[in-house]
């Protein structure tokens, strides 16, 4: 009898907890994909009790191997933040970017996967705006995501600033050059460690990642069994004409089309111990934004690649502040302060040596260090105080192998990274 009562109590408790969260699981037809796609929709607590109220919307893009059901913590933390008044009531739409057997669509328009960019930007938004009580003004529409979805959310908003007020990218690949330089070595290890290489699905995590990305960016329906043009040749070298196509999807490249008149809110976060080593790509995205003079907020954590509660809450608060601040008041954002110093590297690419220029706006304790792409320190060029003004450091790199290096400068509490290529 006690067991029956206990089970009944658990059942009632489960129903009560479920009732506290308004979640709709449904499907809809996508003209861009010519198929039915599932979607999960979180509705704020007062949605059904306020039949005349319309709400802002945040779209969430999942990571590789995931789907619309992969991030329940985003729902629970959003509900908590609404209930305690941290953010305004908001609808959160969890898209499905899965296209098995590959690990994800990369949210790109692809001959192999279908037009997922058009699906996310147009079809899904149109379905939600005509089905759910949303505020249809783009001022009250944002996009966010994690990992593959983090880079995808950034790309959607950057390419379509007329559709979104801003984005929050978490642990996304924000610079393809840097990530490829790191993953290339890992892919070669997964495929035998010596040429000739035959890149096959299932060889390892990073091989699968690159095949998935190739399906989005360089598909080839005449090249079975993977139906992609892989970006590395049999000797393990990057194929330049293919990689040019990949770089058209690079957020550091795409963001150059944005200016202050677009009023696009930019938030991105990454753990310094990211297991897929995408932190340096986020640093370079930050440096690109500094160069362009675009406001942003960059959150760094000591964590890994997972989407932490800190990331979720910081991103949601940022997007909430965007939607409920008047356009043109970006100075109110909690953004990263403009750089207090500037770095230049000439020549870049280099062959034997490079001159690293540093312009300090104030007297600071400064570290100037060179790292290889795996994060190993190659040399420390300076460690000590420097006065305000221009400084130069000469780096002799003639004996080092070809490839990508990172010049990292720390002045006071601020750190900047500059990409260097050695030919």
pLDDT > 90 in the chain, percent: 74
Confidence of residue 12 (pLDDT cuts 50, 70, 90): very low
pLDDT in tens, 294-321: 999 999 998 999 999 999 999 999 999 9
Q: Is the pLDDT of residue 361 over 90?
A: no
Q: Looking at domain 22-175+250-332, does it have CATH number 1.10.645.10?
A: no
Least confident of 252-256, 336-340, 349-353, 419-423: 336-340
CATH number of 341-422: 2.60.40.1930
pLDDT of residue 10: 39
- Beta strands (DSSP E) in 31-140 are 35-43, 57-61, 91-94, 109-110, 114-115
Kindly list the distances between the CA atom of residue 246 and the CA atoms of 215, 236, 298, 309, in Å, as whole numbers in the listed order: 11, 17, 25, 32
Q: Is the pLDDT of residue 90 over 80?
A: yes
Sheet holding 403-411, edge to edge: 377-386, 364-372, 403-411, 414-422
Mean pLDDT along residues 272-286: 93
Paired tokens of 161: 């600033």
Cα–Cα distance measured from residue 219 to residue 229, given in angstroms and rounded to the nearest whole number: 6
Cα–Cα distance measured from residue 142 to residue 158, given in angstroms and rounded to the nearest whole number: 12
pLDDT of residue 18: 39
pLDDT in tens, 34-62: 999 999 999 999 999 999 999 999 999 99
pLDDT of residue 333: 43
Mean pLDDT along residues 409-421: 80
Confidence of residue 423 (pLDDT cuts 50, 70, 90): confident
pLDDT in tens, 194-247: 999 999 999 999 999 999 999 999 999 999 999 999 999 999 999 999 999 999
pLDDT in tens, 109-146: 999 999 999 999 999 999 999 999 999 999 999 999 99
Mean of all residue pLDDT scores within the chain: 89
pLDDT of residue 336: 42
Q: What residue spans of 99-160 are helical by DSSP H?
A: 116-118, 125-131, 148-159
SS3 of residue 134 by DSSP: strand
Domain spans in the chain, listed from the N-terminal domain onward = 22-175+250-332, 177-247, 341-422
Cα–Cα distance measured from residue 119 to residue 127, given in angstroms and rounded to the nearest whole number: 10
pLDDT in tens, 372-382: 876 778 999 99
Q: Is the pLDDT of residue 157 over 50?
A: yes
Least confident of 283-287, 299-303, 326-330, 414-418: 326-330
């Amino acid at each position: 009898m006690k067991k029956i009562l206990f089970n009944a109590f658990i059942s009632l408790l489960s129903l009560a907890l479920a009732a506290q969260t308004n979640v709709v699981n449904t499907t809809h037809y996508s003209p861009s994909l010519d198929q039915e796609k599932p979607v999960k929709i979180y509705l704020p607590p007062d949605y059904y009790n306020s039949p005349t109220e319309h709400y802002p919307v945040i779209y969430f893009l999942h990571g590789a191997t995931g789907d619309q059901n992969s991030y329940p913590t985003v729902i629970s933390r959003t509900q908590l933040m609404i209930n305690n008044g941290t953010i305004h009531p908001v609808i959160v739409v969890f898209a499905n970017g899965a296209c098995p057997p590959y690990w994800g669509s990369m949210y790109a328009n692809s001959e192999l996967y279908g037009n997922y960019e058009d699906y996310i930007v147009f079809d899904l938004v149109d379905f939600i705006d005509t089905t759910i009580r949303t505020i249809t003004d783009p001022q009250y529409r944002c996009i966010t995501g994690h990992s593959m979805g983090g880079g995808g959310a950034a790309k959607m908003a950057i390419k379509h600033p007329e559709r979104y007020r801003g984005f929050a990218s978490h642990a996304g690949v924000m610079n393809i050059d840097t990530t490829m330089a790191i993953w290339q070595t890992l892919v070669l290890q997964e495929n035998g460690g010596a040429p000739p290489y035959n890149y096959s699905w299932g060889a390892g995590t990073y091989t699968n990642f690159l095949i998935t990305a190739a399906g989005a960016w360089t598909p080839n329906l005449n090249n079975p069994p993977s139906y992609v043009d892989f970006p590395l040749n049999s000797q393990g070298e990057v194929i330049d004409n293919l990689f040019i196509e990949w770089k058209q999807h690079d957020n550091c490249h795409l963001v150059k089309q944005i200016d202050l008149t677009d009023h696009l809110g930019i938030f991105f976060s990454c753990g310094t111990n990211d297991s897929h080593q995408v932190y340096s790509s986020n640093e370079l995205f930050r440096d690109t934004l500094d160069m362009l003079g675009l406001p942003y907020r960059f959150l760094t954590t000591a964590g890994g690649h997972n989407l932490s509660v800190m990331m979720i809450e910081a991103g949601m608060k940022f997007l909430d502040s965007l939607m409920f601040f008047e356009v043109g008041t970006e100075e109110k954002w909690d953004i990263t302060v403009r750089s207090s110093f500037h770095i230049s590297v000439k020549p870049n690419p280099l062959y034997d040596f490079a001159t690293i220029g540093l312009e300090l706006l104030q007297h600071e304790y400064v570290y100037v260090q060179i790292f290889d792409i795996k994060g190993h320190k190659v040399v420390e060029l300076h460690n000590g105080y420097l006065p305000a003004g221009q400084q130069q450091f000469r780096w002799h790199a003639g004996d080092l192998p070809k490839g990508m290096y990172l010049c990292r400068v720390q002045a006071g509490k601020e750190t900047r990274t500059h990409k260097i290529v050695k030919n």
